[in-house]
Amino acid sequence: MGRRSATMFSGCLLLALFLGAAPQQFAQTTNVTTGHEDIPAICTGCVYRTGQDLQESTITYSNLSDSTFGQFCNYTTLDGQVYGQPLVVTNVKWGGGQARTVVYVATMNGSLYAFDGTPSAPSGSPGGCTLLSGTPVSLLLSGETAPTCNNLGGGHCQTIAPNVGVLGAPVINTTTLGDGSTGGTIYLVTEALSGSNYYHRLWALDITSLSLTGVTSISITPNGSCPTDTNFSKNHIQRPALLLGGDGYLYVAFSMMDGTQPPLPNGVIFAYDTTSLSTAPLCLSMSENLMAKDGGGIWGGGGGPLYAQDPSGSYHIFFNTGNGFFNLNTTGGTDAGDTFVKMSSASTAALSIDANSYTPGDQYFRSISTCTNGGDVDFGSGNPMLIPDGENTTWQHLAVSGDKEGGLWFMDWTSPGGYTGTSSCTSGIGTNNVQTFQINSSFPGGPLIHNNPAFWESSTTNYLFIGPYEDGNPNGGELLRYQICGSGSPISSTSPCTNAGTYAWEIASTPLIFPWGTTPSVSASSTSGLSDAIVWAIRADGSVVPNSSSFTWNGKGFAAAQNGKLYGFDVLTMGKLYDSEDCSITGYSHVDRINPATKYSIPTVANGHVYLGTQGPLVDPASCSDNASSTCFSTGSFYIFGHFSTARTCI
């Protein structure tokens, strides 16, 4: 459903594909080494987190159907849920054996799995994904466990529950080995509990084995350049994806844990020199004042910090903060709440915030005042994205991000705009950015953007995709596509950079719902045409949000878990091309079905496959009683989707 007219394509080719002809297989060698993949690289070492893969020539618009594409394999007994996006590396000689594609999956129980990324297509129901020898590797030390949300912060279990082990997506630094195969290091952060002590640890493991022999593990704690927090690891979670910059530094960002009581702990970012992780890291705090609404957390919504080179040749790191005190506009001010932060690269030997970092003029009312939703309408609730350079003739260096009131904010990241304050509660007053576009006219109370946008650039048009949700209405979120300004339509101060949104749909004029939002990915073979671009998204259903009395865990009410769904949409019309619930074959109902997804479940598209991680199997609510063990939600699942060599018949 939702396909464009077949006359838009070569009729013979389209007919052959729909009759079951196997699509041509290409020897693609795409690596996805960081959260919300960024392929191809815009500049050496840069990370824009566009979510687009422009090298995907196997899965195309014209050959995506229930009969030709589906679930190859699954592994539904991971020891924890999957929040960090699966990462993919090709040509890895695992354990010194034959070169293969390896998929790395981290869990909320503090474990790291490695799977064969190129399984054979099944003849019936999906098979089991091949777990590579020597894994999983537990990154918890003797006597430690992954803490539960009931232990952390104020015990305010919400959409991250129950265990908190590896939350932020890892990052991989690849290298070419002497025999031409791919080696490298995977970095990730775990949280652990031993007795009454909490720890965050940074790990660095060889991607060819994940062997613990010679592994580097470092305890992360604030140092002299950041305020001391004696309960740092109890009150903070490492939510954003890790960033490996082209400067040779690894950036690790933190926010407070939901429910922590005032004074709220400040957000922190660390920078580790990868040549010697044992060296004390550089550290920068976002907010130091002990106010009732403090914090300045780096949330990221499953995304992570960005890295780019400005026209002068200097490199910078970019990220959003939510809540927190702000005084960058004062002499000596260092507090950066509700700010699009432009930070110096660690290669300059000190982390510092550019005073021209962008902050909305109504920042005080967003974070402190009760005039807008109790002072909790964060500018930085979602993660920013950098639009590839040169996509607009007027503004060559655009960043975009969303907020908690349905605003899309465009900044020139070379000079974000600074701060022009206001004494009004009205949205956007005193702004100094390129443009702000409201998804709807309601203020306050617009759709909340907790997720990450994706971008697709064709030779003629540029599209932005974003999946917000409605405040107080988890069943009100839609995936939206906006056409943003391209080289023929420069941004101006008087007209929106984006036109009216187009909803993802299965039934015409009826938006598909994505409770709690979604972070999409985009795949295409190039920027040359529109016939092969696909928008991928996972429906999470908000199944771990305590908004129902279906059953309780640790005193919190949880809704009954629902099946997740993997969707593929036409990039132009946003009509549905694929849905993992649609196909049943003889003897197998809903053969591609996936388990409930987490709110950070992001599809990884590479080399003709789609990889995704979720929660574990559906749970019978009756089996989960108050203060029961965390087995209700503690397991996870991993899936690989791809093309079949022989078309199947869906009934």
Which residues 6+ apart lie within 8 Å of 238 measured at CB?
167, 168, 189, 191, 200, 220, 252, 253, 254
Q: Is it the case that residue 43 has pLDDT exceeding 70? A: yes
Q: How confident is the model at residue 25 (pLDDT cuts 50, 70, 90)?
A: very low
CA separation for the pair 190, 163 (Å, rounded): 11
Q: Are 104 and 207 in contact (CB under 8 A)?
A: yes
CA separation for the pair 420, 196 (Å, rounded): 45
Span 55-106, pLDDT tens digits = 898 898 888 999 999 999 999 999 999 999 999 999 999 999 999 999 999 9
Q: How many CA atoms lie within 13 A of 368 on its CB side?
A: 14
User: Starting at the edge strand that comes first in sequence, how are the strands of the sheet with 315-320 ordered?
Assistant: 306-309, 315-320, 340-344
3-state secondary structure of 436: strand
Q: Are 598 and 83 in contact (CB under 8 A)?
A: yes
Q: Is it the case that residue 204 has pLDDT exceeding 80? A: yes
CA separation for the pair 44, 275 (Å, rounded): 19
CA separation for the pair 211, 458 (Å, rounded): 42
**Cβ–Cβ contacts within 10 Å for residue 270, how many?**
28
Given this model, what pLDDT does residue 258 score? 73
Over residues 586-593, the mean pLDDT reads 94
Span 369-398, pLDDT tens digits = 655 555 677 888 889 999 887 666 567 788
Phi, psi of 641 (to 5 degrees): -110, 150
Range from 160-164, 497-501, 636-640 carrying the lowest mean pLDDT: 497-501
CA separation for the pair 9, 179 (Å, rounded): 43
Q: How confident is the model at residue 265 (pLDDT cuts 50, 70, 90)?
A: confident
Given this model, what pLDDT does residue 369 score? 60
Given this model, what pLDDT does residue 375 score? 61
Mean pLDDT of all residues in the chain?
A: 81
Determine the Cα angle at 163 with ends 285 and 108, to 5°.
Answer: 80
Q: Is it the case that residue 626 has pLDDT exceeding 50? A: no
Which residues 6+ apart lie within 8 Å of 593 measured at CB?
71, 563, 580, 581
Over residues 219-244, the mean pLDDT reads 83
Q: Provide the percentage of residues in the chain whose pLDDT is more than 70.
A: 77
User: Starting at the edge strand that comes first in sequence, how are the strands of the sheet with 521-523 ordered?
Assistant: 52-53, 521-523, 534-539, 565-570, 576-579
Q: How confident is the model at residue 209 (pLDDT cuts 50, 70, 90)?
A: very high
Q: Is it the case that residue 503 has pLDDT exceeding 60? A: yes
CA separation for the pair 243, 117 (Å, rounded): 23
Range from 112-116, 402-406, 585-589, 643-647 carrying the lowest mean pLDDT: 402-406
Q: Is it the case that residue 190 has pLDDT exceeding 90? A: yes
Which structure tokens are listed for 615? 């929660």
Residue type, 271: A
**CA–centroid distance for 436 within its chain:** 23
**CA–centroid distance for 406 within its chain:** 19
Which of 122-131, 262-271, 433-442 is the most confident on average? 122-131
Kindly calculate the radius of gyration of the chain based on its CA atoms and give it in whole angstroms: 23
Output the 3-class SS for 203-271. EEEECCCCCCCCCEEEECCCCCCCCCCCCHHHHEECCCCCEECCCCEEEEEEEECCCCCCCCCCCEEEE
CA separation for the pair 597, 565 (Å, rounded): 8
Span 516-549, pLDDT tens digits = 789 999 999 876 556 689 999 998 764 443 333 4
3-state secondary structure of 138: strand
Which structure tokens are listed for 237? 């979670």
CA-wise closest residue to 254 among 293, 294, 305: 305
Given this model, what pLDDT does residue 630 score? 44
CA separation for the pair 17, 31 (Å, rounded): 28
Over residues 136-149, the mean pLDDT reads 93
CA-wise closest residue to 61 among 481, 459, 508, 529: 529
CA separation for the pair 639, 119 (Å, rounded): 11
**Please, what are the domains in the chain?**
6-32+61-291+444-596+608-643 (2.120.10)
Which structure tokens are listed for 251? 């950036």
Q: How confident is the model at residue 224 (pLDDT cuts 50, 70, 90)?
A: low
Which structure tokens are listed for 537? 């998204």
**Cβ–Cβ contacts within 10 Å for residue 93, how many?**
18
**Cβ–Cβ contacts within 10 Å for residue 146, how many?**
26
Helix (H) or strand (E) segment spanning residue 366:
helix 363-367
CA separation for the pair 88, 116 (Å, rounded): 10
Q: Are 585 and 650 in contact (CB under 8 A)?
A: yes
**CA–centroid distance for 99 within its chain:** 28
CA separation for the pair 497, 294 (Å, rounded): 33
DSSP letters spanning 10-46: -HHHHHHHHTTPPPPP------B-SSS--BS-SSTT-
What is the b/e burial string over 202-241, where b = at least 16 CB atoms within 10 angstroms of the residue's CB?
bbbbebbbbeeeeebebebbbeeebbebeebbbbbbbbbb
3-state secondary structure of 622: helix
- First-to-last CA distance in the chain? 16
Q: How confident is the model at residue 306 (pLDDT cuts 50, 70, 90)?
A: very high
Q: Are 85 and 103 in contact (CB under 8 A)?
A: no
Q: Are 429 and 524 in contact (CB under 8 A)?
A: no
CA-wise closest residue to 92 among 185, 164, 27, 161: 185
3-state secondary structure of 320: strand
CA separation for the pair 420, 433 (Å, rounded): 10
CA-wise closest residue to 448 among 463, 433, 429, 468: 468
324: left (phi over 0), alpha (psi -120 to 50) or beta: left
CA separation for the pair 338, 427 (Å, rounded): 14
Q: How confident is the model at residue 18 (pLDDT cuts 50, 70, 90)?
A: very low
Parallel, antiparallel, or unpaired for β 398-402 and 268-273? unpaired
Residue with tokens 């976002």, as numbered in its chain: 286
User: Of how many residues is the chain composed?
Assistant: 651
